[in-house]
Amino acid sequence: MMSAAQNQTLKSKLEALQCHFTWDLNPTNTRLFRVRDKLVDIGTEEGNRWLGHIYNLRGYIQYKLGFTEDAQSFFTKAAEAFCNIREADEGPWLVVHYGNLAWLHHLLGDQGKSQDYLSKVDALMQKYPSPPQHELHAETYAEKAWTLMKFSRDKQLLAVDYFEKAIGMQPEMVEWNSSYVLLLMNDFKYDHTKLEDEILEKMRIAKEQDPKDLYLAVHYLDQRATKGERIDKDEVRELGRKVLGKPVSSYSGMNALIWVYREYVSVDEAVALAEEAVVKHPDERYLKRCAALLYKWIVTFKASRATQTTMERAIRLHEEVIALYPHSSLGKKIDLADIYAKKDQGQAKAEQMYQEPLRMDLEPTDKQMVYNKYANYLFSIQQDYYKSAEYHMKAAEIPQRSFYREKSVKTLENIESKGRNPRCGEIKEFLENLPKL
Protein backbone atom coordinates (compact mmCIF):
# COMPACT_ATOMS: atom_id res chain seq x y z
CA MET A 1 0.00 0.00 0.00
CA MET A 2 1.43 3.36 -1.05
CA SER A 3 1.36 6.27 1.37
CA ALA A 4 -0.44 9.51 0.51
CA ALA A 5 2.91 11.19 -0.15
CA GLN A 6 4.00 8.36 -2.47
CA ASN A 7 0.69 8.57 -4.33
CA GLN A 8 1.12 12.31 -4.78
CA THR A 9 4.68 11.83 -6.07
CA LEU A 10 3.48 9.18 -8.52
CA LYS A 11 0.67 11.41 -9.76
CA SER A 12 3.08 14.32 -10.26
CA LYS A 13 5.40 12.11 -12.30
CA LEU A 14 2.49 10.85 -14.40
CA GLU A 15 1.27 14.35 -15.13
CA ALA A 16 4.76 15.32 -16.31
CA LEU A 17 4.83 12.54 -18.92
CA GLN A 18 4.52 13.15 -22.66
CA CYS A 19 1.76 10.77 -23.77
CA HIS A 20 -1.82 10.68 -25.01
CA PHE A 21 -3.19 10.92 -21.47
CA THR A 22 -1.48 14.30 -20.90
CA TRP A 23 -1.87 15.96 -24.31
CA ASP A 24 -5.20 17.69 -23.63
CA LEU A 25 -6.94 16.02 -26.55
CA ASN A 26 -10.44 17.08 -25.41
CA PRO A 27 -11.74 13.52 -25.85
CA THR A 28 -15.51 13.88 -26.15
CA ASN A 29 -17.23 10.67 -27.18
CA THR A 30 -18.14 12.14 -30.55
CA ARG A 31 -14.52 12.96 -31.28
CA LEU A 32 -13.28 9.62 -29.94
CA PHE A 33 -15.57 7.64 -32.24
CA ARG A 34 -14.74 9.82 -35.22
CA VAL A 35 -10.98 9.47 -34.76
CA ARG A 36 -11.36 5.74 -34.11
CA ASP A 37 -13.15 5.34 -37.43
CA LYS A 38 -10.41 7.29 -39.20
CA LEU A 39 -7.77 5.02 -37.70
CA VAL A 40 -9.68 1.87 -38.65
CA ASP A 41 -9.91 3.14 -42.23
CA ILE A 42 -6.15 3.68 -42.38
CA GLY A 43 -5.83 -0.05 -41.84
CA THR A 44 -2.97 -2.10 -40.43
CA GLU A 45 -0.99 -2.87 -43.57
CA GLU A 46 2.41 -4.30 -42.71
CA GLY A 47 5.08 -1.73 -43.41
CA ASN A 48 2.90 1.27 -42.57
CA ARG A 49 5.43 3.53 -40.90
CA TRP A 50 2.80 5.06 -38.62
CA LEU A 51 1.51 1.71 -37.39
CA GLY A 52 2.97 2.01 -33.88
CA HIS A 53 1.44 5.47 -33.53
CA ILE A 54 -1.90 4.19 -34.83
CA TYR A 55 -2.01 1.41 -32.23
CA ASN A 56 -0.93 3.80 -29.46
CA LEU A 57 -3.76 6.19 -30.30
CA ARG A 58 -6.28 3.39 -30.68
CA GLY A 59 -5.29 2.06 -27.27
CA TYR A 60 -5.89 5.46 -25.71
CA ILE A 61 -9.24 5.85 -27.48
CA GLN A 62 -10.44 2.40 -26.43
CA TYR A 63 -9.59 3.15 -22.81
CA LYS A 64 -11.46 6.47 -22.93
CA LEU A 65 -14.47 4.68 -24.43
CA GLY A 66 -14.40 2.15 -21.59
CA PHE A 67 -12.88 -0.83 -23.42
CA THR A 68 -9.98 -1.61 -21.08
CA GLU A 69 -9.00 -5.00 -22.50
CA ASP A 70 -8.98 -3.59 -26.02
CA ALA A 71 -6.76 -0.76 -24.82
CA GLN A 72 -4.21 -3.16 -23.41
CA SER A 73 -4.27 -5.22 -26.61
CA PHE A 74 -3.63 -2.18 -28.80
CA PHE A 75 -0.80 -0.96 -26.59
CA THR A 76 0.81 -4.39 -26.91
CA LYS A 77 0.47 -4.21 -30.69
CA ALA A 78 2.01 -0.72 -30.65
CA ALA A 79 5.20 -2.01 -28.99
CA GLU A 80 5.44 -4.87 -31.51
CA ALA A 81 4.90 -2.49 -34.44
CA PHE A 82 7.57 -0.05 -33.24
CA CYS A 83 10.09 -2.86 -32.78
CA ASN A 84 9.40 -4.23 -36.27
CA ILE A 85 9.47 -0.87 -38.03
CA ARG A 86 12.52 0.46 -36.19
CA GLU A 87 14.21 -2.98 -36.20
CA ALA A 88 15.23 -2.54 -32.57
CA ASP A 89 13.87 -3.63 -29.19
CA GLU A 90 14.15 -0.19 -27.61
CA GLY A 91 14.57 3.44 -28.53
CA PRO A 92 13.17 6.92 -27.93
CA TRP A 93 10.06 6.02 -29.94
CA LEU A 94 8.88 4.05 -26.87
CA VAL A 95 8.81 7.07 -24.52
CA VAL A 96 5.19 7.95 -25.38
CA HIS A 97 4.23 4.27 -25.41
CA TYR A 98 5.62 3.61 -21.93
CA GLY A 99 3.96 6.82 -20.72
CA ASN A 100 0.62 5.52 -21.95
CA LEU A 101 1.15 2.23 -20.12
CA ALA A 102 2.17 4.03 -16.91
CA TRP A 103 -1.10 5.96 -17.05
CA LEU A 104 -3.19 2.93 -18.00
CA HIS A 105 -1.98 0.83 -15.05
CA HIS A 106 -2.35 3.81 -12.71
CA LEU A 107 -5.96 4.26 -13.80
CA LEU A 108 -6.58 0.51 -13.43
CA GLY A 109 -5.25 0.65 -9.87
CA ASP A 110 -1.97 -1.20 -10.38
CA GLN A 111 0.47 1.38 -9.02
CA GLY A 112 3.38 -1.08 -9.01
CA LYS A 113 3.21 -1.61 -12.77
CA SER A 114 2.63 2.10 -13.26
CA GLN A 115 5.86 2.80 -11.39
CA ASP A 116 7.68 0.18 -13.49
CA TYR A 117 6.75 2.00 -16.70
CA LEU A 118 7.70 5.35 -15.21
CA SER A 119 11.13 3.85 -14.56
CA LYS A 120 11.30 2.68 -18.18
CA VAL A 121 10.51 6.21 -19.36
CA ASP A 122 13.25 7.64 -17.12
CA ALA A 123 15.76 5.10 -18.41
CA LEU A 124 14.97 5.89 -22.06
CA MET A 125 15.18 9.63 -21.51
CA GLN A 126 18.57 9.29 -19.87
CA LYS A 127 19.84 7.04 -22.66
CA TYR A 128 18.31 9.12 -25.48
CA PRO A 129 18.18 12.73 -24.22
CA SER A 130 16.64 15.47 -26.30
CA PRO A 131 19.04 18.06 -27.77
CA PRO A 132 19.82 20.96 -25.40
CA GLN A 133 17.80 23.48 -27.42
CA HIS A 134 14.68 21.29 -27.49
CA GLU A 135 12.30 20.28 -24.73
CA LEU A 136 11.43 16.91 -26.28
CA HIS A 137 13.07 14.20 -28.35
CA ALA A 138 12.34 14.23 -32.10
CA GLU A 139 10.37 10.97 -31.84
CA THR A 140 8.11 12.48 -29.20
CA TYR A 141 7.56 15.68 -31.20
CA ALA A 142 6.63 13.58 -34.26
CA GLU A 143 4.15 11.36 -32.45
CA LYS A 144 2.57 14.35 -30.72
CA ALA A 145 2.28 16.19 -34.04
CA TRP A 146 0.71 13.18 -35.78
CA THR A 147 -1.76 12.66 -32.94
CA LEU A 148 -2.87 16.30 -32.87
CA MET A 149 -3.19 16.26 -36.66
CA LYS A 150 -5.62 13.34 -36.43
CA PHE A 151 -7.44 14.44 -33.33
CA SER A 152 -8.16 18.10 -33.36
CA ARG A 153 -8.76 20.78 -35.99
CA ASP A 154 -8.03 23.52 -33.44
CA LYS A 155 -4.53 22.18 -32.70
CA GLN A 156 -3.26 22.03 -36.29
CA LEU A 157 -0.87 24.98 -35.95
CA LEU A 158 0.68 23.34 -32.89
CA ALA A 159 1.04 20.12 -34.88
CA VAL A 160 2.85 22.04 -37.65
CA ASP A 161 5.28 23.45 -35.07
CA TYR A 162 5.98 20.00 -33.59
CA PHE A 163 6.57 18.46 -37.01
CA GLU A 164 9.01 21.24 -37.89
CA LYS A 165 10.96 20.61 -34.69
CA ALA A 166 11.03 16.84 -35.27
CA ILE A 167 12.11 17.18 -38.90
CA GLY A 168 14.75 19.73 -37.98
CA MET A 169 16.35 17.14 -35.70
CA GLN A 170 15.84 14.07 -37.91
CA PRO A 171 15.33 15.17 -41.54
CA GLU A 172 15.87 11.62 -42.82
CA MET A 173 12.45 10.52 -41.48
CA VAL A 174 10.57 10.90 -44.76
CA GLU A 175 7.16 9.91 -43.34
CA TRP A 176 7.36 12.85 -40.93
CA ASN A 177 7.98 15.25 -43.79
CA SER A 178 5.21 13.74 -45.93
CA SER A 179 2.66 14.14 -43.12
CA TYR A 180 3.95 17.63 -42.43
CA VAL A 181 3.40 18.92 -45.96
CA LEU A 182 -0.05 17.30 -46.14
CA LEU A 183 -0.89 19.08 -42.89
CA LEU A 184 0.29 22.38 -44.42
CA MET A 185 -1.86 21.73 -47.48
CA ASN A 186 -4.88 21.03 -45.28
CA ASP A 187 -4.31 24.13 -43.18
CA PHE A 188 -4.07 26.25 -46.35
CA LYS A 189 -7.78 25.60 -46.88
CA TYR A 190 -8.44 27.55 -43.70
CA ASP A 191 -5.63 30.11 -43.75
CA HIS A 192 -4.92 31.63 -47.15
CA THR A 193 -2.20 33.89 -45.76
CA LYS A 194 0.18 30.97 -46.19
CA LEU A 195 2.41 30.93 -49.26
CA GLU A 196 0.83 28.55 -51.77
CA ASP A 197 3.95 28.31 -53.95
CA GLU A 198 6.07 27.47 -50.93
CA ILE A 199 3.72 24.68 -49.89
CA LEU A 200 3.70 23.25 -53.42
CA GLU A 201 7.50 23.20 -53.47
CA LYS A 202 7.56 21.43 -50.10
CA MET A 203 5.15 18.85 -51.54
CA ARG A 204 7.41 18.32 -54.56
CA ILE A 205 10.43 17.68 -52.37
CA ALA A 206 8.47 15.38 -50.06
CA LYS A 207 7.19 13.37 -53.03
CA GLU A 208 10.73 12.90 -54.33
CA GLN A 209 11.86 11.73 -50.90
CA ASP A 210 8.86 9.43 -50.41
CA PRO A 211 7.90 8.05 -53.86
CA LYS A 212 5.86 5.16 -52.41
CA ASP A 213 3.40 7.51 -50.71
CA LEU A 214 0.53 7.47 -53.21
CA TYR A 215 -1.65 9.63 -50.97
CA LEU A 216 0.95 12.37 -51.23
CA ALA A 217 1.38 11.76 -54.98
CA VAL A 218 -2.35 12.23 -55.64
CA HIS A 219 -2.53 15.44 -53.64
CA TYR A 220 0.60 16.81 -55.30
CA LEU A 221 -0.89 16.16 -58.73
CA ASP A 222 -4.10 17.91 -57.69
CA GLN A 223 -2.20 20.92 -56.37
CA ARG A 224 -0.23 21.19 -59.61
CA ALA A 225 -3.49 21.26 -61.54
CA THR A 226 -4.96 23.84 -59.17
CA LYS A 227 -1.98 26.08 -59.93
CA GLY A 228 -2.84 25.90 -63.62
CA GLU A 229 -0.53 23.15 -64.84
CA ARG A 230 -2.00 21.00 -67.59
CA ILE A 231 -2.35 17.45 -66.29
CA ASP A 232 -1.75 14.45 -68.55
CA LYS A 233 -4.78 12.16 -68.30
CA ASP A 234 -2.57 9.10 -68.73
CA GLU A 235 -0.56 10.19 -65.70
CA VAL A 236 -3.78 10.24 -63.69
CA ARG A 237 -4.85 6.83 -65.00
CA GLU A 238 -1.46 5.34 -64.18
CA LEU A 239 -1.77 6.64 -60.64
CA GLY A 240 -5.25 5.13 -60.52
CA ARG A 241 -3.89 1.68 -61.42
CA LYS A 242 -1.28 1.97 -58.68
CA VAL A 243 -3.86 2.97 -56.07
CA LEU A 244 -6.22 0.15 -57.09
CA GLY A 245 -3.34 -2.30 -56.74
CA LYS A 246 -2.58 -1.26 -53.16
CA PRO A 247 -4.24 -2.70 -50.02
CA VAL A 248 -7.33 -0.68 -49.14
CA SER A 249 -6.54 2.23 -46.85
CA SER A 250 -7.56 5.85 -46.48
CA TYR A 251 -3.82 6.49 -46.87
CA SER A 252 -3.94 5.07 -50.41
CA GLY A 253 -5.31 8.34 -51.77
CA MET A 254 -8.45 6.85 -53.34
CA ASN A 255 -10.80 9.63 -52.27
CA ALA A 256 -8.53 12.38 -53.59
CA LEU A 257 -7.88 10.34 -56.73
CA ILE A 258 -11.60 10.11 -57.52
CA TRP A 259 -11.77 13.90 -57.23
CA VAL A 260 -8.80 14.29 -59.59
CA TYR A 261 -10.44 11.91 -62.10
CA ARG A 262 -13.69 13.85 -62.12
CA GLU A 263 -11.90 17.20 -62.54
CA TYR A 264 -9.14 16.34 -65.01
CA VAL A 265 -10.16 13.11 -66.77
CA SER A 266 -13.95 12.69 -66.85
CA VAL A 267 -16.89 12.14 -64.53
CA ASP A 268 -17.64 8.83 -66.27
CA GLU A 269 -14.14 7.53 -65.57
CA ALA A 270 -14.36 8.76 -61.98
CA VAL A 271 -17.57 6.74 -61.53
CA ALA A 272 -15.98 3.72 -63.20
CA LEU A 273 -12.97 3.95 -60.87
CA ALA A 274 -15.13 4.24 -57.76
CA GLU A 275 -17.37 1.34 -58.80
CA GLU A 276 -14.40 -0.84 -59.75
CA ALA A 277 -12.90 -0.29 -56.31
CA VAL A 278 -16.19 -1.19 -54.59
CA VAL A 279 -16.65 -4.33 -56.71
CA LYS A 280 -13.05 -5.40 -56.12
CA HIS A 281 -13.40 -4.91 -52.35
CA PRO A 282 -17.13 -5.24 -51.54
CA ASP A 283 -16.58 -5.45 -47.77
CA GLU A 284 -14.45 -2.30 -47.48
CA ARG A 285 -16.59 0.47 -46.02
CA TYR A 286 -14.05 3.19 -46.81
CA LEU A 287 -14.41 2.62 -50.56
CA LYS A 288 -18.19 2.84 -50.28
CA ARG A 289 -17.70 6.14 -48.46
CA CYS A 290 -15.54 7.41 -51.35
CA ALA A 291 -18.13 6.32 -53.92
CA ALA A 292 -20.97 7.89 -51.92
CA LEU A 293 -19.14 11.22 -51.87
CA LEU A 294 -18.74 11.13 -55.67
CA TYR A 295 -22.42 10.34 -56.28
CA LYS A 296 -23.46 13.08 -53.88
CA TRP A 297 -21.34 15.55 -55.86
CA ILE A 298 -22.96 14.43 -59.14
CA VAL A 299 -26.47 14.82 -57.71
CA THR A 300 -25.69 18.20 -56.16
CA PHE A 301 -23.57 19.86 -58.84
CA LYS A 302 -24.25 17.95 -62.07
CA ALA A 303 -28.02 17.99 -62.24
CA SER A 304 -28.06 17.07 -65.93
CA ARG A 305 -26.31 13.78 -65.11
CA ALA A 306 -28.41 12.98 -62.04
CA THR A 307 -30.68 10.35 -63.61
CA GLN A 308 -33.12 8.36 -61.52
CA THR A 309 -30.62 5.49 -61.49
CA THR A 310 -27.84 7.78 -60.29
CA MET A 311 -30.10 9.21 -57.59
CA GLU A 312 -31.06 5.77 -56.33
CA ARG A 313 -27.44 4.64 -56.32
CA ALA A 314 -26.47 7.73 -54.33
CA ILE A 315 -29.22 7.09 -51.76
CA ARG A 316 -28.35 3.40 -51.43
CA LEU A 317 -24.63 4.09 -50.95
CA HIS A 318 -25.30 6.75 -48.33
CA GLU A 319 -27.64 4.48 -46.41
CA GLU A 320 -24.99 1.75 -46.42
CA VAL A 321 -22.26 4.14 -45.29
CA ILE A 322 -24.42 5.53 -42.47
CA ALA A 323 -25.00 1.97 -41.23
CA LEU A 324 -21.27 1.16 -41.50
CA TYR A 325 -20.26 4.28 -39.55
CA PRO A 326 -22.91 4.32 -36.79
CA HIS A 327 -20.95 6.69 -34.53
CA SER A 328 -19.48 9.11 -37.08
CA SER A 329 -21.94 9.51 -39.92
CA LEU A 330 -23.38 12.97 -39.22
CA GLY A 331 -21.87 14.38 -42.41
CA LYS A 332 -23.26 11.55 -44.50
CA LYS A 333 -26.74 12.03 -42.98
CA ILE A 334 -26.62 15.67 -44.05
CA ASP A 335 -25.42 14.62 -47.51
CA LEU A 336 -28.33 12.19 -47.76
CA ALA A 337 -30.74 14.98 -46.81
CA ASP A 338 -29.28 17.10 -49.64
CA ILE A 339 -29.76 14.22 -52.08
CA TYR A 340 -33.41 13.84 -51.08
CA ALA A 341 -33.84 17.60 -51.52
CA LYS A 342 -32.92 17.15 -55.20
CA LYS A 343 -35.22 14.15 -55.63
CA ASP A 344 -38.77 14.46 -56.93
CA GLN A 345 -41.14 14.53 -53.95
CA GLY A 346 -38.14 14.33 -51.63
CA GLN A 347 -38.19 17.73 -49.91
CA ALA A 348 -40.33 16.65 -46.97
CA LYS A 349 -37.88 13.81 -46.29
CA ALA A 350 -34.95 16.23 -46.56
CA GLU A 351 -36.52 18.67 -44.08
CA GLN A 352 -37.17 15.82 -41.65
CA MET A 353 -33.57 14.64 -41.91
CA TYR A 354 -32.26 18.16 -41.25
CA GLN A 355 -34.43 18.72 -38.18
CA GLU A 356 -32.89 15.83 -36.25
CA PRO A 357 -29.28 17.21 -36.13
CA LEU A 358 -30.59 20.76 -35.69
CA ARG A 359 -32.09 19.63 -32.37
CA MET A 360 -29.00 17.70 -31.25
CA ASP A 361 -26.33 18.87 -28.80
CA LEU A 362 -23.34 18.82 -31.16
CA GLU A 363 -19.70 19.83 -30.96
CA PRO A 364 -19.06 23.41 -32.20
CA THR A 365 -17.59 22.42 -35.58
CA ASP A 366 -20.44 19.95 -36.18
CA LYS A 367 -22.99 22.65 -35.37
CA GLN A 368 -21.28 24.97 -37.84
CA MET A 369 -21.45 22.30 -40.54
CA VAL A 370 -25.15 21.60 -39.93
CA TYR A 371 -26.08 25.30 -39.81
CA ASN A 372 -24.10 26.09 -42.97
CA LYS A 373 -25.57 23.16 -44.91
CA TYR A 374 -29.09 23.91 -43.74
CA ALA A 375 -28.66 27.56 -44.70
CA ASN A 376 -27.64 26.51 -48.20
CA TYR A 377 -30.62 24.13 -48.39
CA LEU A 378 -32.99 26.92 -47.34
CA PHE A 379 -31.53 29.22 -49.98
CA SER A 380 -31.32 26.89 -52.97
CA ILE A 381 -34.25 24.51 -52.37
CA GLN A 382 -36.75 26.37 -50.19
CA GLN A 383 -35.76 29.84 -51.51
CA ASP A 384 -36.19 31.16 -47.97
CA TYR A 385 -33.49 33.84 -48.15
CA TYR A 386 -34.41 35.45 -44.84
CA LYS A 387 -34.11 32.23 -42.82
CA SER A 388 -31.04 31.14 -44.79
CA ALA A 389 -29.16 34.25 -43.64
CA GLU A 390 -30.21 33.50 -40.05
CA TYR A 391 -28.56 30.08 -40.14
CA HIS A 392 -25.39 31.44 -41.75
CA MET A 393 -25.19 33.84 -38.81
CA LYS A 394 -25.73 30.95 -36.39
CA ALA A 395 -22.76 29.15 -37.97
CA ALA A 396 -20.55 32.24 -37.97
CA GLU A 397 -21.22 33.29 -34.39
CA ILE A 398 -19.83 30.04 -32.96
CA PRO A 399 -16.27 31.02 -31.93
CA GLN A 400 -14.49 28.08 -33.54
CA ARG A 401 -12.24 28.32 -36.59
CA SER A 402 -13.51 25.95 -39.26
CA PHE A 403 -14.10 25.51 -42.99
CA TYR A 404 -17.87 25.88 -42.60
CA ARG A 405 -17.66 28.99 -40.43
CA GLU A 406 -15.45 30.59 -43.07
CA LYS A 407 -17.95 29.66 -45.81
CA SER A 408 -20.86 31.16 -43.87
CA VAL A 409 -18.92 34.37 -43.16
CA LYS A 410 -18.10 34.75 -46.87
CA THR A 411 -21.72 34.11 -47.81
CA LEU A 412 -22.90 36.77 -45.38
CA GLU A 413 -20.35 39.24 -46.76
CA ASN A 414 -21.65 38.59 -50.28
CA ILE A 415 -25.27 39.05 -49.16
CA GLU A 416 -24.44 42.32 -47.43
CA SER A 417 -22.46 43.67 -50.40
CA LYS A 418 -25.33 43.03 -52.82
CA GLY A 419 -27.81 44.82 -50.56
CA ARG A 420 -30.90 42.88 -51.69
CA ASN A 421 -31.64 40.76 -48.63
CA PRO A 422 -34.12 42.35 -46.15
CA ARG A 423 -31.64 41.51 -43.36
CA CYS A 424 -28.71 43.44 -44.90
CA GLY A 425 -28.58 46.02 -42.13
CA GLU A 426 -28.65 43.33 -39.47
CA ILE A 427 -26.00 41.32 -41.32
CA LYS A 428 -23.72 44.36 -41.65
CA GLU A 429 -23.90 45.01 -37.91
CA PHE A 430 -23.39 41.32 -37.21
CA LEU A 431 -20.23 41.17 -39.35
CA GLU A 432 -18.81 44.35 -37.82
CA ASN A 433 -19.09 42.84 -34.35
CA LEU A 434 -17.96 39.35 -35.33
CA PRO A 435 -14.69 38.39 -33.57
CA LYS A 436 -11.74 37.50 -35.82
CA LEU A 437 -10.44 34.00 -35.07
Give the max Cα distance, the chain. 74
Separation CA 147–CA 127 (nearest Å)? 25
Separation CA 372–CA 216 (nearest Å)? 30
Return the sign of the alpha-carbon dihedral for residues 239, 244, 245, 250: positive
Confidence band of 189 (pLDDT split at 50, 70, 90): low
Are 367 and 358 in contact by the 8 Å Cβ rule? The answer is no
Of the chain, the percentage scoring pLDDT greater than 90 comes to: 81
**What is the tens place of the pLDDT at every residue in 377-390?**
999 999 999 999 99
pTM (predicted TM-score): 0.91
Separation CA 240–CA 275 (nearest Å)? 13
The top-level CATH class assigned to 4-128 is mainly alpha
Residue 1 confidence (pLDDT): 57
CA-nearest of 329, 409, 404, 419 to 370 is 404
**What is the tens place of the pLDDT at every residue in 278-332?**
999 999 999 999 999 999 999 988 877 888 899 999 999 999 999 999 999 999 9
Residue 36 confidence (pLDDT): 97
Sequence ranges of the domains in the chain: 4-128, 213-279, 283-354, 361-437
DSSP classification of residue 211: T
**What is the tens place of the pLDDT at every residue in 33-52?**
999 999 999 998 877 899 99
